[in-house]
Amino acid sequence: MNDRLSGKRAVVTGGTRGLGRAIADAFAAEGAHVVCAGRTDPAGHPDWPREFTYLPVDVTDADSVEEMMSRAADTLGGIDIVVANAGVSIDGRVHRTTAADWATTMAVNVNGVFHTTRSAIPHLEKTGGTIINVSSSMATRVAVGAAAYCASKAAVEMFTKVSAAELGSRNITVNCLAPGILDGGIADDLAQNPKAWELYRDRLIAKRVGRVAEAAAGAVFLASADSSYVNGHVLEVNGGLLWA
């Protein structure tokens, strides 16, 4: 165990699975106390750590996020780190994307980050803290069939930069983690499709997909004192992703 986050109190939305869970695990390994918030209760799952606290939340609902953040502060005795990780991806070219699909993507990926940030401010400004918003490499790269997702993540990155400028005077830093193709997500589908993998492999300087633990390590950096002079930054963890 390391101690870069020793004694820190962290809240991770979408923290029960995937990248959110990996971030929660990495924070705990560095000494943090972690609340994982999400829509699915992980109780009873064999690999759910007893030291993690789960709180229910619907990030599209401002009142739900406010209630969760207050409960997390009570549980942890305060909050130092907030990770807005909850997100969805609904595939579809523009002409096939329904109004409902577009609205759902924006409600979770954009409104969810806004609600999480807004509800965290009163807690983080008490002693100073940090917000990490999770974006994607697709925020700055054209991906055919992912207009809603790309647009939502581009919005998250600009929201991060504006928030950093506004909240710096409140002793709150705001940064963004933008992962590339990671295992457990699109990479699993690529691995089962040799032709698709051949295409994507040539776009990765690393010639391999990333591990969620590698992206989570980026979150640890942004949450720790190692990044004390980093603010309003988008940290890409993508193995050197080129995009045509």
Strand 53-56 to 33-38 pairing: parallel
229 is catalytic: no
Backbone φ/ψ region at 212: left (φ over 0), alpha (ψ -120 to 50), beta: alpha
Here the tokens at position 114 are 């806004």
Question: 54, 149, 200, 229: which is the annotated catalytic residue?
Answer: 149
* Residues 24, 36 contacting (CB under 8 angstroms): yes
Strand 9-13 to 81-84 pairing: parallel
Q: What span, in angstroms and rounded, lies between the C-alpha atoms of 62 and 115?
A: 6
Alpha helices in 10-146 (DSSP H): 18-29, 62-76, 99-106, 112-124
Q: How many CB atoms lie within 10 A of CB 71?
A: 17
Active site residues: 149
